[in-house]
Structure 1
Amino acid sequence: MALKDRYGNPVSTGSAKAVAAYDRGVEMFLSDRWGAGAVFEEALAADPGFAMALTGLARAQATDAPLARQTLARAEALSDRLDARERAHIGILKLVLNGRAAEARDAVKVHARAYPRDVMIVQLCGSVFGLIGFSGRAGREAEMLDYVASLLPHYGDEWFIHTLHAISLCETGQLDRSLAVMERALAQNPLNANAAHFKSHALYELGETRAGRQFLDGWLSGFDPRCALHGHLSWHSALWALFDGDIATMWRVLDDSVAPGGSQGLPINKLTDTASLLWRAELAGVPVPPDHWRVLSDYAARFFPDPGQSFVDLHNALCHAMAGQGDRLARLAENPGGFAGDLVPPVAAAFGAIARGDWDSALGALVPALAQQERFGGSRAQRDLLELTYVAALMRTGRADEAARTLRLRRPVIAAQLAGPVTPG
């Protein structure tokens, strides 16, 4: 009888020890716990020809794309001894690692219908940073909820599906349901960093600053800083400190755990989270030394030199404008690309105008981007960067009443929070 993984998928190995290690690696990877790669290596030590362990290792190596592609090629070389699911699994990861995101997204949806419990594949479309989340398509939040809902009958009461379901509920405004589902996911797997992350989003959307700080700061105290989500969860913590008027803590968390040089996370998070926090601090009237923007602009130019990742390009435009790097900003505006590339030039124009003190021009430039801002990707919490910039532009141009109405209409939870210790300047 063929061996199966924890989710009931047959696997092409005769080693029960290899399967047990693989299952542990999958749980660690989906929970964003440190060491998943080493556990997949344990599975390979038990069976060097275990293709699924190679795919898991490739996922764990994704920050080193050439290495991940080499590992996946080792799995692909075993294709003649694999079943149809495993071959399709490898094919989808090959699309992802070669930057063919649209093809991969369509392939995942087909795969999920045939093999709904192939968690390492179905997970690729199940988060705001996933293949649907970064599709650049209007309505992608509802699309993600629909995708996750199609999986629910196949999982029952399992923490993995609760985690995906909760964030899709949160991003479509179903906050009470989201929080209840996420509490269930955390109760089943308290070490699940994704659940802690998405609970933080629900608390943010509910305006629960104090409760959010209490929960997240306690949870982070036992979280390995080498994990990919540590820096981004720290961003949530620092943002709540800003909302709470605790500026000293905001700076400490930013420097120690969010910004380049402090965070051990992914470059995309170091850049976007730092830029977002610095800008929101400035809008709240907190002085930001110019050197911070110059350092971050240099970091952006080093790690993301070419336009094409629209969520990153949004934040690059902010960094380059605030650092006075006109050439870098112009390159973004003149050579847009990526899933929402048409929205990058107006954002670049807006931040360039703000850097010159021309808030009237910024206001006009922001309108087309704000109207379609979900296409940039990221969470609603992250895209508040644009919402608050627009409100600040209204205030700077003498339209305070319109600014207040706009914020109450578009982001009432932020309007309530900004009535507290900090207000946009």
Structure 2
Amino acid sequence: MLRDSYGNEISVESQASLDHYDRGTKLFLGADFGATDAFSSSVELDGGFALGYAALARSLMMSGQMPQAKAAISRAQDLCAKLDTRQRQHIECIALLLAGKPNEARALVKSHVRDYPRDALVAQLCANVFGLIGFSGEVGREAELLAYTSALLPHYGEDWWMMSMHALSLCETGQIEASSKLMEKSLALNSRNANAAHFKSHAQYEAGEVAAGRSYLNDWLSDYDDRGVLHGHLSWHSALWALHDNDEAAMWSAIDAGVGPKSAKGLPINILTDTAAILYRAELAGVTVAANRWSELSEYATRFFPETGQSFADMHAALAHAMAGNGDRLAHISDTAKGFAGDLVRPVSRAWQAIARQDWSTALEELVQVMGSTERLGGSRAQRDLLELTYANVLLKLGQTEEARRCLTTRRPVLSHSPPIAALHL
């Protein structure tokens, strides 16, 4: 029996088909463009390659092609009867995810990798802040993610992908120096690993390295295919660097070229959350945001997230609706919010509504209910700074300047030296 690039025995008829599969795996783990084509080529050569179809399903999912992804995983399931335990469970993990059963998928993935730690396409389902642990809605998810990658790391040796995953876990638990060293090692092995470039940007953000972070990311993005799954989100990081560097023109350029609904080619959840976050953080910093930007984003959120259930998206959709004055959609979210952190989405939604009408006291009452457990909403520390800065700004509007400074200093010291909040500099 042949083995894949991670040493796992795999039921495939030809080396040529396996070569395409291995190439797709590398592209997928590096968040580079082309994985779908590689997996498609693999199953074209071997129509009975079950794991090839499972990988294709996962890649199609990450490019937002859900009907095609479900068809591919169904084909994989049809072919799995004669496979060994690892391969059957591999397919089941991805099938559970595509079936909208994240809790069951997470439990099976964690069990699976204890027996098959080098099954990378399964391991990655839980391996970053956008994975099944990251979107669990549980307190302590950052520590859980660190424990997860810590247990896997020894099994991977000098592997650029796992190094980058563990480096992010270190970063999100405040171990910036260790994270940076491991990330550099990962990038030295594969400089075109978009995940590593992304996570390096997080480490530089946490270290407050604005000039270095901006320079590195803009250079890295120059030859990254805009169809790559992380292009839009990395453009958000670029826009954020520009905002923190007081370069408004560059910020709008990054937004209009790669972040917003009119230009970005990524997943709707990234387009919505990144655009809402950068627009409001720009407003907090004193930048004028045209009303039509909010109305266009509110329409986008209504189209792609008409019902609640994905808490991270719902929180940002509520912001877009509030800023656009779309009261009906905002009320729908605050009334019906469900999902892994629906109990937090509701007060956040009411806070956005209060902020839109400049009712700062009500906004504070609502945000207080959330600030102790923002990690449950999902996203990275950098993304959740939207709430940290919003909370500080509400305190400032209520005349509580010292409390606002204290909160930033104790909760997010990296933002306290030069807070991107216009009201703090008046």
Q: Flag whether TM exceeds 0.5 (same fold).
A: yes
Alignment of 1:206-221 (within 5 A): 206-221=207-222
Task: Point out 4+ residue stretches in structure 1 off by more than 6 angstroms.
Answer: 419-422
Is the contact made by 1:296 and 1:319 (CA closer than 8 Å) also made in structure 2?
Answer: yes
- Indicate the percent of aligned positions where both proteins have the same amino acid: 54
| In 2: Cα distance, 1:253 partner to 1:14 partner | 45
The question of whether the paired residues in 2 share the 8 Å contact of 1:284 and 1:424 is answered with: no
Q: 2:51 maps to which residue?
A: 52
Cα distance in 2, alignment partners of residues 386 and 367 from structure 1: 11
Query: What SS is found at the alignment partner of 1:253?
Result: helix
* 1:343 and 2:355 matched: no
Hey, what does 1:25 align to over in structure 2? 24
3-state secondary structure, aligned to 2:325: coil
2:261 aligned partner, one-letter code: P
Correspondence list, 1:16-415, <5 A:
16-62=15-61, 63-415=64-416
SS at match of 2:123: helix
Moved more, 108-117 or 69-78: 69-78
Residue segments in structure 1 that go unaligned for 5+ positions in a row: none
Q: Deviations over 1:40-76 (max 9, x none)?
A: 1221232121111111111111012221111111111
Length, aligned pairs only? 424
**What residue identity is the alignment partner of 1:207?**
G
Superposition CA RMSD, Å: 1.3
1: distance between equivalents of 2:194 and 2:271?
18
| Aligned counterparts of 1:411 and 1:120: Cα–Cα separation in 2 | 34
Q: In structure 2, what residue type is equivalent to 1:32?
A: A
Determine helix, strand or coil for the equivalent of 1:391: helix
Cα distance in 1 between the residues matched to 2:318 and 2:425: 20
* C-alpha contact 2:164 2:196 (8 A) present in aligned 1: yes
What is the rounded CA distance, in whole Å, between the counterparts of 2:244 and 2:411 in structure 1? 18
Per-residue Cα deviation, 1:302-338 (whole angstroms, up to 9, x for no partner): 0001011110111011111111111111111111100
Q: CA deviation at 1:419?
A: 7.5
**Cα distance, 1:294–1:424 mapped onto 2, change above 3 Å:** farther
What's the offset of the Cα at 1:106?
0.3
SS in 2 for 1:80: coil
Distance 1:419 1:108, change over 3 A: closer
Separation in 1 of the partners of 2:298 and 2:422?
29
TM-score (norm 2): 0.98
Answer yes or no: is the 8 Å Cα contact 1:283–1:424 preserved in 2.
no
Distance in 1 between residues matched to 2:133 and 2:98, nearest whole Å? 16
Corresponding letter in the other structure for 2:359: D
Whole-angstrom CA distance in 2 between matches of 1:96 and 1:207: 36
Residues 16-37 of structure 1, C-alpha deviations (whole Å, 9 max, x = no match): 1111111011000111111111
- Report the secondary structure of 1:81's partner residue: coil
Change in CA separation of 1:241 and 1:325 when aligned onto 2, cut-off 3 Å: same
Unaligned stretches of 5+ in structure 2?
none
State whether residues 285 and 422 of structure 2, in contact with CA within 8 Å, keep that contact through their aligned partners in structure 1.
no
